[in-house]
Amino acid sequence: MICLGIESTAHTFGISIVSDQKVLSNIITAYKPKSGGLIPGKLADHHVEVLEDTLRKALEKARVNIKNIDLIAFSQGPGIGHALRIGAGLARSLSILLNKPMIGVNHCIAHLEIGRFLTKAKDPVLLYVSGANTQVIAYEAGKYRVFGETLDLGVGNFLDTFARELGLGFPGGPRIEEFARKGKKYIKLPYSVKGMDISLGGMETNLRQKIKEKKHSKSDLCFSIQETVFAMLVEVAERAMAHTDKNELLLGGGVACNKRLQKMCEIMCKERKAELFVLENQFLIDNAAMIAITGIEMFKAGMKTNLKDANIRPYERTDDVDVKWR
């Protein structure tokens, strides 16, 4: 079975061709604002602009004729409405033109499913850290459940904001990682874990003051922010593993590309004799391969999305979805 996957929840427009869990192509076109945050309308314009080229590249790289596509999978939510609409629209058009079924996929769940299919992980806890999302997700009793999450800001957006204020550029995460490597002194920052959740608002206020005071170097600030925020993430991930009695940790989301975060997770897993799984960067960041892989699994379990239900679900929660394919 050949599936064409479409990802368009936020700044990434992606198309991937997957054949029986083998990724034949995974084209990622990311929108980068020249300054400031993401403006929904501009995001949609970008996705429309790159749509044809991304589709052509994905088919060419996979050496697949569009007529041979058996299934169309698209990210249905959660995400930014303007962006989601472009992907869902393309899915509907292709489904009608090719007369092939389509399936709407939950983006957060897809981050976990791609790990189960591309690594040896069987039943992992997912630490999903991206721009807008920060969640600890695991399978329990028929659903993917959120065991912990951020109460305010997503870690990626937090890093991007902070990097912008320090004048480090966009995207902020990789720039902070670079500066952090040169950091020597740990500056104490508010550490805020509340049960299974984390909160970054207090740290944001505290950091604004520290930047204004100009007492600390950029590298020391970047180093300290990574150490503090990542320790919070590792703590909630470990607590979820302990409560669910699972011994596999999977990373997902753009922030998971960070080598220091990977290292800290590795240490935690080693200490509790658990296994850590880290995908290649192209499968950690937002991508359409994960949408196609999950779509195939759902379809094989008898699920599909009718034209009238192929709307977008900007606010869909991870545990709204009945997992019939596991």
H/E/C letters for each residue in 22-69? Answer: EEEEEEEEECCCCCCCCCHHHHHHHHHHHHHHHHHHHHHHHCCCHHHC
Q: Which residues contact 89 (CB under 8 A, 6 or more apart)?
A: none
Taking the least distance from each CB to Mg ion, the nearer of 130 and 305 is 130
**Residue 156 interacting with ligand AMP (CB under 6 A):** yes
What are 156's two structure tokens?
A: 């990626």
Angle between helices 289-300 and 107-118 (to 10 degrees): 90
Q: Which residue has the tokens 């912990």?
A: 148
CB of 307 to ligand AMP, least distance (A): 29
- Gap between the Cα atoms of 77 and 99, Å rounded: 24
Binding characters for ligand AMP, 157-176, by CB under 6 A (x = yes): x-xx----------xxxx--
Among positions 156-175, residues that touch Mg ion (CB under 5 A) are none
Among positions 276-305, residues that touch Mg ion (CB under 5 A) are 286
Among positions 280-309, residues that touch ligand AMP (CB under 6 A) are 285-286
Among positions 53-112, residues that touch ligand AMP (CB under 6 A) are none
Among positions 243-262, residues that touch ligand AMP (CB under 6 A) are 253-255, 257-258
**Residue 192 interacting with Mg ion (CB under 5 A):** no
**Residue 130 interacting with Mg ion (CB under 5 A):** yes
Residue 305 is given by DSSP the state B
Peptide bond into 171 cis (omega under 30): yes
**Residue 14 interacting with ligand AMP (CB under 6 A):** no
Q: Residue numbers of the site for ligand AMP (CB under 6 A)?
A: 10, 12, 130-131, 156-157, 159-160, 171-174, 177, 253-255, 257-258, 285-286
Q: Residue numbers of the site for Mg ion (CB under 5 A)?
A: 130, 286
